[in-house]
Structure 1
């Protein structure tokens, strides 16, 4: 009988066989005993593999309904590895409103690596199709996007890709595998910053890549091992532990987000709300609007005053923790963009991105209300 994802995140088929404890032991060693000199399956050196990473990668693959999972030492390592499966001179179509870290990567390392990237508005399918050249190898998607949560039609992009023999990559960090399943929609590569919802406790830096294709799997494995990009043993053990509660954390956060959305719609201090919970396209490829909501305050000059009045949300960077985290994209995730680029994307002084945690929703609303009312 096939278990549900919730069950698979908790049990381990090696429990009762290789160990007799509730939790998998922490295999804190850089080297492993070789049963025989020609044993290809044995763990050899921690950079290559270890039991904690092996179990984590099995879980990551299961979560995304994929065959092969890879745990990287950060979300940016995961994104870098996915893009470095291509060769110098190859062309990749990117979203115009890509994550700030991906933007910096495209402008620095990948530029020196001679990977050619073109950013287009991926909500316009004509623009995507028109950007394909003879050198194009892939289309990279973020949906919903960061920080204005624009939605891209995954199925339509996959159609364009297949027509042109291209690879599709989706950053699924915001929705988690519980909210959106890109591989099931025909996507080739899924990436995550596992630091966010998968980890969920703001205490581990990690990334994940999940694929079905064996050739892509081999390329990723080579990058992970040769470049030393694999997630460390202790972080693998920690992330394994945190995945046990992913389902209940996600459920509470998304329920809270729905309540906050209704509150934001009713407050006169908010001028714009960015949340895909009522977007038909989004809901045709996802099960929920997610647990991230962005908004713009009416008086943008009072951004600092607003955050100074808050008591519950952590005013910081990152997202996906059990605590609600309020970020200011202009001065954090998208600081590397030019002012013109930020204005074009709507990233102004008054724009905030709220990653909704698992606190009591009424407490969150009360705290945000009093902060808004004070300005």
Structure 2
């Protein structure tokens, strides 16, 4: 069965009515026949039919044992970290999403969980960072925002040899392009706000467990902590999933054209996109994501300043300046002052998040229009630079 067919056939027809669309069970509780005797549901925090349908679909897509839907991507990450105990250690990718970094550093470090960061594109660095306290290796592949790609299978072997779990944030690739559990991961997380929902109209998170053992623990944490996804948002994610393969195909094809265009511009020092042969992790990406390389691009300007980046991100017409990604409309952001502003400057720069780095989320618009939009913004940057140079030359001439 091909992936698109597998996805669509995993969305159930309602057994009660035959509805082709999953019904929204907008209820807080369920009537019981007797104490403890019910139709499979007793309280909506513990379980809801709409959410259960989504969770089963997610598990199918990621080839896992079970899935769990949360109120946000960070709630999903939080649930995974709650699998650990004081004294445990996480080895994480160095250009970690700023929200995850904030959660790790300012919440869980206070609870006695240690976090070590390394460049996970080099499995040897991961191996060197592991200790007898390491219980979890945390990857983003591709990473946010520098699009680093780590060898999931190799790192899974390293983690398991040390008795640790491997968790992969698969938000950027989506299950259409990459299935980390098939590569050896124990846990997969998503900000379902992004490609899974796909329409910039919800906040949601997801966790998929590879085994029953991990799944039971996550289910307990989900129920005990209560950060569940509501039925209407669960319905919206299911609605978004129905078009995920088609959307991802368009995102990938357009992003490659945009990335290739950006390589031709003198204002751009570097373009990070795994689909480019020049990308340092292109071979690994091609192996892990045979269906495409996603819709996210990062670029670093030749003028590596926040001022230059601000001029570009406020000068586009079709790329809207906003946090988030993965929607139908193209977005762009400046991570240094937006998504990664909570990461210390020195650590951010060392991980490759330059002051002028701009992250593009390529939407479903026509490639030609998006390219023209970026071209005019970069043209204005060059014109402003030339105007400044001319003013400096005139000032110097007057002084002479």
TM value normalised by structure 1: 0.95
Judging changes above 3 Å, is the alpha-carbon distance between structure 1 residues 54 and 328 closer, same or farther for their aligned structure 2 residues? Answer: same
For the residue of structure 2 that corresponds to 1:80, the secondary structure is helix
Matched residues in 2 for 1:124 and 1:6: separation? 33
Question: Does 2:353 correspond to 1:347?
Answer: yes
Tell me how far 1:8 sits from its aligned partner: 4.6
Q: Stretches of 4+ moved more than 3 A in 1? A: 7-14, 35-41
Tell me how far 1:230 sits from its aligned partner: 1.2
> How large is the Cα RMSD of the aligned pairs?
1.6
Tell me how far 1:342 sits from its aligned partner: 2.3
Matched residues in 2 for 1:28 and 1:311: separation? 39
Mapping 1:94-173, distance limit 5 Å? 94-173=92-171
Mapping 1:60-71, distance limit 5 Å? 60-71=58-69
Matched residues in 1 for 2:87 and 2:199: separation? 40
Question: Does 2:299 correspond to 1:295?
Answer: yes
Matched residues in 2 for 1:17 and 1:163: separation? 45
Tell me how far 1:4 sits from its aligned partner: 4.2
Q: Which has the larger radius of gyration?
A: 2
Matched residues in 2 for 1:372 and 1:108: separation? 38
Match of 1:232 in 2: 230
Matched residues in 1 for 2:311 and 2:106: separation? 35
Match of 2:80 in 1: 82
Tell me how far 1:14 sits from its aligned partner: 5.0
Deviations 1:227-268 (A, max 9, x none): 101111111111111111111111111110111111111122
In the comparison of the two structures, how many residue pairs are matched?
373
For residue 214 of structure 1, the aligned residue among 197, 212, 215 is 212
Match of 2:176 in 1: 178
Bigger mean CA offset, 35-44 vs 150-159: 35-44
Question: Does 2:247 correspond to 1:282?
Answer: no
Question: Does 2:378 correspond to 1:372?
Answer: yes
Kept after mapping to 1: 8 A contact 2:25/2:48: yes
Match of 1:309 in 2: 315
Matched residues in 1 for 2:151 and 2:46: separation? 37
Matched residues in 2 for 1:14 and 1:98: separation? 35
For the residue of structure 2 that corresponds to 1:190, the secondary structure is strand
Judging changes above 3 Å, is the alpha-carbon distance between structure 1 residues 272 and 28 closer, same or farther for their aligned structure 2 residues? Answer: same
Matched residues in 2 for 1:252 and 1:14: separation? 26
For the residue of structure 2 that corresponds to 1:112, the secondary structure is coil
Matched residues in 1 for 2:12 and 2:228: separation? 22
Kept after mapping to 1: 8 A contact 2:94/2:118: yes
Which sections of structure 2, spanning at least 5 residues, go unmatched?
382-400
Tell me how far 1:15 sits from its aligned partner: 2.4
Mapping 1:249-260, distance limit 5 Å? 249-260=247-258
For the residue of structure 2 that corresponds to 1:108, the secondary structure is helix
Kept after mapping to 1: 8 A contact 2:14/2:23: no
Kept after mapping to 2: 8 A contact 1:69/1:208: yes
Match of 1:188 in 2: 186
Kept after mapping to 2: 8 A contact 1:252/1:358: yes
Match of 2:324 in 1: 318
Judging changes above 3 Å, is the alpha-carbon distance between structure 1 residues 12 and 210 closer, same or farther for their aligned structure 2 residues? Answer: closer
For the residue of structure 2 that corresponds to 1:374, the secondary structure is helix
Bigger mean CA offset, 70-79 vs 150-159: 150-159
For the residue of structure 2 that corresponds to 1:276, the secondary structure is coil
Tell me how far 1:12 sits from its aligned partner: 6.5
Which sections of structure 1, spanning at least 5 residues, go unmatched?
none
TM value normalised by structure 2: 0.89
Tell me how far 1:40 sits from its aligned partner: 6.6
Deviations 1:33-76 (A, max 9, x none): 22454447611111001110010001111111112011011000
